[in-house]
């Protein structure tokens, strides 16, 4: 126990920064059992350590544990929690729970048998909480952490603090909003930098090796997280990597499932599962056509990498038009995912404009010279235009959609 507290203090000293992710303020820290799920590298560990330091300092009442530590694998989590409670413990922060065997059974048991002990756990975005051996979804409140929005990137990299805005505000007040951000700045340069290396908070640590660390993140997800959580045969890892590479180098990918299955040597039913897993892992975003609805067995009309940074890391080739669409889909889906009524089809492809959002708003995504030809005469139709600092009428700067969360 003493060694674990020593390890925690070192982490608090070395890793806890002053900047906080958007999710930190949204979490109700009074809840008895909290789950934080997100893609690898988005800052789940830092959020937990920041809360621990802010609320408990170096007190023995709180303890952070990374359960993927080999030492911890030999401990019985429930028994350890009981011992910690007997010594005056009030809250356990459990990191990387998906790497602890039968973690959900232990968390449920702790919740039921130690009512005065709080639990905060983090895990991969791949986790389906309701499908664990012990359903903790009725006990834990689950929060989802996404990569940095462009708004957060400006705060983290330049110290420029802005509040998030709603999609309605962007549509109706984009001129004043854009002017308040872009005035006297090089906002377009900052936006280009964000698309290249600003989505994951670790860009602050070692900028020169960011792209290599991101490749390591992708490899870890495919080689470790996916086989661990979904029991994928290790012999299929090479096929999975080939799938990701093919999708990355031919974006925006309009899939022919038969050809894709043949090219990757993956059966079609398994291919649908793999695509779903890669989306859950936040490596891909799949978009369906208007009116088709969302189904795991429905062929997506387009497949995008989850964010623009991945395009640089995986394919090393950047297609500007695709990059714009990746950003738009990513920021819309991430912001919608924070809302209680989130649906997978909150953004769809449309024959009138590029995308339909929330079933009512049409958007055409393009460069500064994009015209309104494809949305002419349509109500609730707008252009998200790149390479402009400010907009006019229904033409909105693309970068401004990075202020949704």
3-50 confidence digits (pLDDT tens):
665 565 666 666 667 799 999 999 999 999 999 999 999 999 999 999
- Grade residue 390 by pLDDT with cuts at 50, 70 and 90: very high
If you average pLDDT over every residue of the chain, what do you get?
91
Are the beta carbons of 368 and 359 closer than 8 angstroms?
no
Find the CATH number of the domain harbouring 127: 3.40.50.300
**Stretch among 48-62, 172-186, 342-356 having the lowest mean pLDDT:** 342-356
**Stretch among 31-40, 343-352, 382-391 having the lowest mean pLDDT:** 343-352
DSSP letter at 339 equals S
Q: Is there a single domain that holds both residue 169 and residue 66?
A: no
Residue 207: per-residue pLDDT:
87
Residue 369: per-residue pLDDT:
94
Q: Is there a single domain that holds both residue 304 and residue 163?
A: yes
Residues 391 and 400: their CA atoms lie apart, in Å, by 10
Q: How far is CA 19 from CA 11, 15, 126, 204, 388, in A?
A: 16, 12, 26, 11, 29
Q: Is there a single domain that holds both residue 210 and residue 307?
A: yes
Residue 295: per-residue pLDDT:
55
Q: Is there a single domain that holds both residue 228 and residue 350?
A: yes
Q: Is there a single domain that holds both residue 175 and residue 120?
A: no
pLDDT at 396 over 80: yes
| Domain termination residue (choose one: 145, 168, 185) | 145
Q: What SS3 state is found at 62?
A: strand
pLDDT digits (tens, 9 = 90+) for 273-283: 999 999 999 99
Residue 7: per-residue pLDDT:
66
| Domain termination residue (choose one: 90, 112, 145) | 145
Would you state the torsion angle of the CA atoms of residues 66, 70, 76, 81, taken in this order, to the nearest 10 degrees? Answer: -30
Q: Is there a single domain that holds both residue 246 and residue 384?
A: yes
Higher pLDDT, residue 291 or 307: 307
Task: Single out the residue of 315, 320, 316, 305 nearest to residue 275, CA to CA.
Answer: 305
Domain count, the chain: 2
Tokens at residue 310, please?
A: 């991945």
Q: What SS3 state is found at 13?
A: helix
- Grade residue 400 by pLDDT with cuts at 50, 70 and 90: very high
Q: Is there a single domain that holds both residue 225 and residue 307?
A: yes
Q: In 121-209, where does DSSP find H-type helix?
A: 150-158, 167-182, 187-197
Residue 292: per-residue pLDDT:
58
Residues sharing a CB contact under 8 Å with residue 91, sequence separation 6 or more, in sequence order: 52, 56, 61, 62, 63, 117, 118, 119, 120
pLDDT at 253 over 90: no
Domain range enclosing 194: 151-403
pLDDT digits (tens, 9 = 90+) for 138-153: 899 999 999 999 999 9
Task: Single out the residue of 391, 393, 336 nearest to residue 177, CA to CA.
Answer: 391
| Domain termination residue (choose one: 130, 145, 160) | 145
Q: How far is CA 189 from CA 65, 163, 177, 196, 316, in A?
A: 40, 21, 18, 11, 20
Burial degree of 13 (CB within 10 A; 0-12, 13-18, 19+): exposed
Q: Is there a single domain that holds both residue 141 and residue 219?
A: no
Q: In 265-319, where does DSSP find H-type helix?
A: 268-280, 308-310
Residues sharing a CB contact under 8 Å with residue 55, sequence separation 6 or more, in sequence order: 29, 62
Q: Is there a single domain that holds both residue 182 and residue 141?
A: no
- Contacts made by residues 10-13, CB under 8 angstroms, sequence distance 24+: 11/49, 11/64, 12/49, 12/52, 12/53, 12/58, 12/64
Average pLDDT of the segment spanning 388-401:
97
Residues 225 and 281: their CA atoms lie apart, in Å, by 9
**Stretch among 252-266, 360-374, 384-398 having the lowest mean pLDDT:** 252-266
Average pLDDT of the segment spanning 227-237:
92
Q: Is there a single domain that holds both residue 83 and residue 223?
A: no
Q: How far is CA 268 from CA 152, 260, 261, 272, 332, in A?
A: 39, 9, 6, 6, 29
Average pLDDT of the segment spanning 101-117:
94
Q: Is there a single domain that holds both residue 54 and residue 157?
A: no
Q: Is there a single domain that holds both residue 82 and residue 156?
A: no
Strand (E) or helix (H) holding 100 = none
Whole-number percent of the chain with pLDDT over 70: 91
């Amino acid at each position: 126990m003493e060694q674990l507290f020593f390890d925690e203090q070192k982490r608090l000293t070395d890793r806890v920064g002053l900047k906080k992710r958007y999710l930190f303020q949204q979490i109700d820290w009074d809840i008895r059992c909290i789950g934080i799920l997100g893609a690898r590298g988005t800052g789940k560990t830092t959020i937990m350590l920041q809360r621990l330091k802010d609320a408990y300092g170096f007190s023995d009442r709180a303890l952070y544990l990374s359960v993927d530590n080999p030492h911890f694998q030999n401990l019985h989590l429930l028994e350890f929690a009981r011992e910690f409670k007997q010594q005056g413990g009030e809250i356990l922060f459990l990191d990387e729970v998906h790497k602890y065997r039968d973690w959900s059974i232990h968390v449920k048991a702790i919740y039921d048998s130690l009512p005065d002990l709080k639990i905060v756990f983090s895990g991969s975005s791949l986790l389906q909480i309701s499908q664990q051996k012990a359903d903790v979804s009725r006990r834990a409140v689950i929060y989802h952490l996404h990569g940095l929005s462009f708004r957060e990137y400006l705060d983290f990299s330049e110290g420029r603090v802005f509040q998030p805005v709603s999609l309605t505000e962007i549509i109706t007040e984009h001129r004043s909003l854009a002017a308040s951000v872009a005035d006297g700045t090089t906002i377009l340069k900052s936006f280009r930098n964000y698309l290249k290396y600003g989505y994951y908070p670790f860009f602050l640590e070692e900028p020169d090796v960011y792209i290599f660390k991101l490749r390591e993140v992708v490899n870890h997800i495919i080689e470790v997280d996916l086989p661990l959580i979904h029991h994928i045969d290790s012999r299929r890892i090479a096929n999975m990597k080939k799938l990701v590479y093919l999708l990355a180098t031919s974006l925006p990918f309009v899939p022919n499932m038969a050809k894709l299955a043949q090219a990757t040597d993956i059966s079609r039913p398994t291919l649908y599962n793999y695509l779903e897993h890669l989306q859950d892992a936040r490596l891909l975003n799949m978009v369906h056509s208007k009116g088709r609805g969302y189904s795991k067995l429905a062929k997506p009309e387009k497949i995008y990498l989850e964010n623009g940074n991945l395009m640089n890391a995986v394919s090393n080739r950047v297609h500007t038009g695709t990059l714009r669409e990746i950003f738009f889909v990513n920021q819309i889906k991430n912001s919608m995912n924070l809302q209680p009524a989130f649906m997978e089809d909150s953004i769809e492809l449309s024959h009138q404009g590029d995308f339909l959002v929330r079933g009512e708003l049409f958007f055409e995504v393009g460069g500064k010279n994009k015209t309104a030809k494809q949305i002419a005469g349509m109500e609730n139709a707008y252009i998200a235009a790149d390479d402009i600092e400010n907009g006019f009428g229904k033409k909105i700067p693309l970068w401004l959609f990075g202020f949704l969360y």
